[in-house]
Amino acid sequence: MRNNLTPFDIANNVRMTRTLHKGAILIVEGTTDIRVYERFLSKTKCKFIPAHGKDNAIGALSILEKKGFKGILTIIDADFWRLDGIKPKTPNLFLTDTHDLETIIISSDAFDKILNEFGSVNKIKKLNKPIREMLLESGIPIGFLRWISSPNKENISLFFKNLSFYKFVDKKTLEVDIDNLIKEVKFNSNNSTLDENLIKKQLIILMKSEYDPWQVCSGHDLVQILSIGFLNIFGNHRGKETTPEVVDGLLRISFEFSHFCLTDLYKSIVDWEKLNQSFEILN
């Protein structure tokens, strides 16, 4: 599918879906989200629409609500909304409990299943701290740099896709070198004017704050760091063969209904169904 879809395209897709399906319709950011949610939500009573982006998802919902469209719900990644103090303006828009879907999974018991399967028991016992804690400590400076770059902060539009994590993550400790992190992001963004010293000062100030790391850290970053850890520090023979893409897929597969029903997102869906009794989403 073309990647220049607009909120109007998504809204029209929802309208076309409603002509054949009279039940609930759920808009999510992308197809990978659907692969997780469809295991817990009813595929017969609820139809899933990928919006191919957060702005599309929010925009399509707004378009449909203005026309009085019923039985529509949208789930998006929280990203930095809670840090920015942004709240959904409609009861039909829900956020993930943590920064994104990946961090929900890593914060759950599903993560322990992955460690048990691909981690070395002896190597993990020798670590000075739990692996979750290691991941969060490494992910925080990257997350804060993403936040600084975001539209609601400095809006400097740094480019984080395809970063070479080995250039700033120590493969023996998973610690992040802040100077190398900034240099790699600056190079990756082709931004020769970025003031590295100023950005570093901002990062250090933020890292001394008490923001919830689960709202700061990006799941993509934690997956990349976890993959480095499996390969170099605590993986068994199978863990050493995993790539970030494989780790990401394993996390999604390991996330079960027993984990999902403990989230605030699940509770919000239950409450939504009570208020919209003609429409069902949960199995």
Domain ranges, ordered by start, for the chain: 7-97+263-275, 103-255
Residue 2 pLDDT > 60: no
The set of long-range contacts for 261-269, using a CB threshold of 8 Å and a minimum separation of 24, is: 261/40, 262/108, 263/97, 263/104, 264/97, 265/75, 265/94, 265/95, 265/96, 265/97, 265/104, 266/40, 268/94, 269/41, 269/73, 269/94
Average pLDDT, the chain: 95
In the chain, count H helices and then E strands: 15, 4
What's the confidence (pLDDT) of residue 35? 92
C-alpha span between 255 and 194 (Å, rounded)? 39
Closest of 27, 113, 52, 77 to residue 218, by C-alpha? 77
Q: Which residues have CB under 8 Å from 125's CB, separation 6+?
A: none
Tokens at residue 77, please? Answer: 């990644």
What's the confidence (pLDDT) of residue 34? 94
Tokens at residue 220, please? Answer: 């993509």
Average pLDDT over residues 221-240: 96
Residue 258 pLDDT > 70: yes
What's the confidence (pLDDT) of residue 66? 97
C-alpha span between 110 and 93 (Å, rounded)? 26
C-alpha span between 23 and 72 (Å, rounded)? 9
C-alpha span between 226 and 14 (Å, rounded)? 37
What's the confidence (pLDDT) of residue 1? 43
What's the confidence (pLDDT) of residue 106? 98
In tens, the pLDDT along 39-82 reads 999 999 999 999 999 999 999 999 999 999 999 999 999 999 99
Residue 28 pLDDT > 50: yes
Identity at 223, one-letter amino acid code: V
Tokens at residue 237, please? Answer: 């023979």
Identity at 69, one-letter amino acid code: F
Min mean pLDDT across 106-110, 238-242, 255-259 is at: 238-242
pLDDT band at 265 (very low <50, low <70, confident <90, very high): very high
pLDDT band at 283 (very low <50, low <70, confident <90, very high): confident
Q: Which residues have CB under 8 Å from 161's CB, separation 6+?
A: 188
- Report how far apart, in Å, the C-alpha atoms of 205 and of each of 8, 141, 186 are: 41, 11, 20
In tens, the pLDDT along 190-205 reads 988 999 999 999 999 9
C-alpha span between 79 and 217 (Å, rounded)? 9
In tens, the pLDDT along 120-167 reads 999 999 999 999 999 999 999 999 999 999 999 998 989 999 999 999
**To the nearest 5 percent, what fractions of the chain are helix, strand and coil?**
55, 10, 35
